[in-house]
Chains A and B, each alone.
Chain A
Amino acid sequence: MPESMRYIQAVNAALTWALDSRDDTVYFGEDVAIPNGPFGATKGLHKRFGAGRIFDTPISETGFLGMALGAAMTGMRPIAEIMYADFAFVAMDQIVNQIANIRYSSGGRWKAPLVIRMQQGYSPGACAQHSHSPEAYFAHTPGLRLALPATADDAYQMLRTAVTVDDPVIVAEARMLYPIAGEVRTDVPVEPMGGARVLREGPDVTVVAWSRMVPAALEAAETLAAEGIRAEVIDLRWLNPLDFETVGASVSKTGRLVVAHEANLTGGFGAEIAARVADECFEDLRSPVARVAAPDVPMPAAPVLQQAVVPEAVHVADTVRRTVHW
């Protein structure tokens, strides 16, 4: 039976499941155990599983991500929490030079089955150091898996998948979506890793989005439908492994593509999708590929300035109109 839960509660349910299913799973990060997590994701877990399974770390991101790697290499299945994705930059060496490399650089003799949970994106009034959407940095790094759940159900399913695979997986949640409720299928088997999802079918234009831009894309599609533009909306879900097949098939049908992400435009993952489409769907394209993204500025804190840079449903709709009427 599906249960209705908020996104953040679905994370909690998945973590409960993870700690329940394997004794070698440990969870750590800042304020996650005794204080129940800065956003409540780990509520009740310390009480239920005890300090041997879930514990609070000092503010030492490099240290505890390295510790996650060492534990994973020697047989544990750690889940480490980075409170804001912005703080992952503090620990970039462990993520990029250590965690991502070890399997390959040992010729497959070591593995790093660990999960780094974080949450990303802007929120009203948050400064440049608490607003990053860093998925492109991680997607650029071979060796990492990267999940960006956009719904409560995916927050549950994708996190369960992440803890099950034998690769290091970054699960980057969307803070702005935490309060949003949805039906969560708590009774289904763990899903295989990867797979984009067509959330809405339409023959006129393909809109690819992930994270917070998924609800924005759906809202835009609804607006556009009233104008007679039938958009196909794809939630990319995993940037690694990338399900380009689903994107390519859709673009071959519609001949038009808009990619939407909150991250800055230049070098964003939208550029990768655009390049792949140019490469593999060239003959099918009927208009240029368009991107919806934040312009190349650090995130300002003042809401009037944020509104000038943060992409929303209206920007998706406008871009789709231009693409369709090109």
Chain B
Amino acid sequence: MDLPDTYRAMARIRRFEERLMALKESGEIPGSIHLCNGQEAIPVGACGVLREDDYVSATYRGHGWAIARGVGLAALFAEMMGRDSPISGGRAASPYLSDASRNFIGENSIVGAGVPIAAGAALTAKHRGHGAVSVVSIGDGAMNQGNVHEALNLAAVLDLPMVLVVENNVYSEMSRIEDMVRVHRLSERAAGYGIPGTVVDGNDVDAVTAAMAQAVGRAREGSGPSLVEAMTERLVGHYSGDAQQYRPAGEVAAAKEREPLARIRQAADAELTARLDTIEAEIAAEIDAAVTAARAIPFPDPATVTEHVHA
């Protein structure tokens, strides 16, 4: 992707999240939402190097991954509005949605639980032998979940084509990473599994793309899993109701200078700025249309509530 395209992909996620928050505030979104404002370069950089037959898994903070994976915006809005969306039928909402048609194994609202599942998708990919890979994103805090440790070691000993992306936004809910781990870099832990680990600036979409190209390429050629730690910052609360009193004064303001979209804007000349403005206008129209389309999707029929429990 060239620059205007990556900007477009990231802006689509940002404006989606912003509109979602507005819809939450106006009462159209029933449950909690966990936004990824500021972290968009990670899913965009990662999904940019993926093939259609690759698998993607994320967390409750996974709207950006869904969008970067090509899941429809209207479907996402509708799911989060509690409507009968074509992806999860209103069963999952914001933190647990998936899209089987996009190989988007989905979000997970149990911290760390997605990693062993992603290892399973990597097992399928390896078994089929077509070079598909399984990419899974978690947060920094999830690195302390036993599940993640077990899955990484499994992936390592089985040489599974899996890439673990750790989005290090330095917070687990309201707790700081320094209080949660004693390593300086989470990627140092990769050595403990005998797999490569790298750290990248997760607000730099090109850096993410390069790191992911390498890790995904390695997995594709059968050399096994890797870990990519992407340093980033949340521009918003942990979830929609988070007043963020635990964040030091000025932290969010400083983060707004470093976030992926601002960074591109800061370096843009007049011509590029004009192009980016056009892109923003197009995205705004895209989001408006998606909300309108989502609102046209009916709520699920309560009579269907017991469907899909079993085959």
Contact A301 B109, CB 8 Å, known A35-B173, A129-B96: no
Scan residues 289-311 of chain B and give those whose CB is less than 8 A from a CB of chain A.
299-300, 302-303, 305-306, 309
Question: In the assembly, what is the distance between CA of A32 and CA of B174, in Å?
Answer: 9
Q: Is B108 an interface residue (CB 8 A)?
A: yes
Question: In the assembly, what is the distance between CA of A301 and CA of B98, in Å?
Answer: 13
Contact A60 B305 (CB under 8 A): no
Closest Cβ of chain A to B261, distance in Å, is: 29
Of all chain A residues, the one with the shortest Cβ separation from B88 is A301
Contact B29 A301 (CB under 8 A): no
Closest Cβ of chain B to A45, distance in Å, is: 15
Scan residues 281-326 of chain A and give those whose CB is less than 8 A from a CB of chain B.
295-298, 300-305, 307-309
Question: In the assembly, what is the distance between CA of A35 and CA of B242, in Å?
Answer: 11
Please indicate which of the listed interface residues B93, B142, B303 has the most CB atoms of chain A within 10 Å of its own CB: B93
Contact A297 B110, CB 8 Å, known A58-B144, A124-B31, A302-B82: no
Q: Which of A30, A31, A300 contacts B305 (CB 8 A)?
A: A300
Q: Is B112 an interface residue (CB 8 A)?
A: yes
Q: Which of B32, B83, B179, B306 contacts A125 (CB 8 A)?
A: B32
Q: Is B225 an interface residue (CB 8 A)?
A: no
Contact A127 B95 (CB under 8 A): yes
Residue total for B at the interface (Cβ-Cβ under 8 A): 41
Question: In the assembly, what is the distance between CA of A86 and CA of B174, in Å?
Answer: 20
Contact A59 B172, CB 8 Å, known A129-B108, A301-B92: yes
Question: In the assembly, what is the distance between CA of A63 and CA of B30, in Å?
Answer: 33
Contact A30 B309 (CB under 8 A): no
Of all chain B residues, the one with the shortest Cβ separation from A130 is B109
Contact B32 A126 (CB under 8 A): yes
Q: Is B252 an interface residue (CB 8 A)?
A: no
Question: In the assembly, what is the distance between CA of A316 and CA of B35, in Å?
Answer: 38
Binding site for B on A (CB under 8 A): 30-31, 34-35, 38, 56, 58-60, 62-63, 86-87, 90, 123-130, 295-298, 300-305, 307-309
Binding site for A on B (CB under 8 A): 29-32, 82-84, 90-96, 108-113, 141-142, 144-147, 172-175, 179-181, 246, 299-300, 302-303, 305-306, 309
A-B contact pairs, 13 of them (CB 8 A): A30-B173, A35-B174, A38-B174, A58-B141, A60-B145, A90-B145, A125-B29, A125-B31, A125-B32, A130-B95, A301-B96, A305-B90, A309-B305
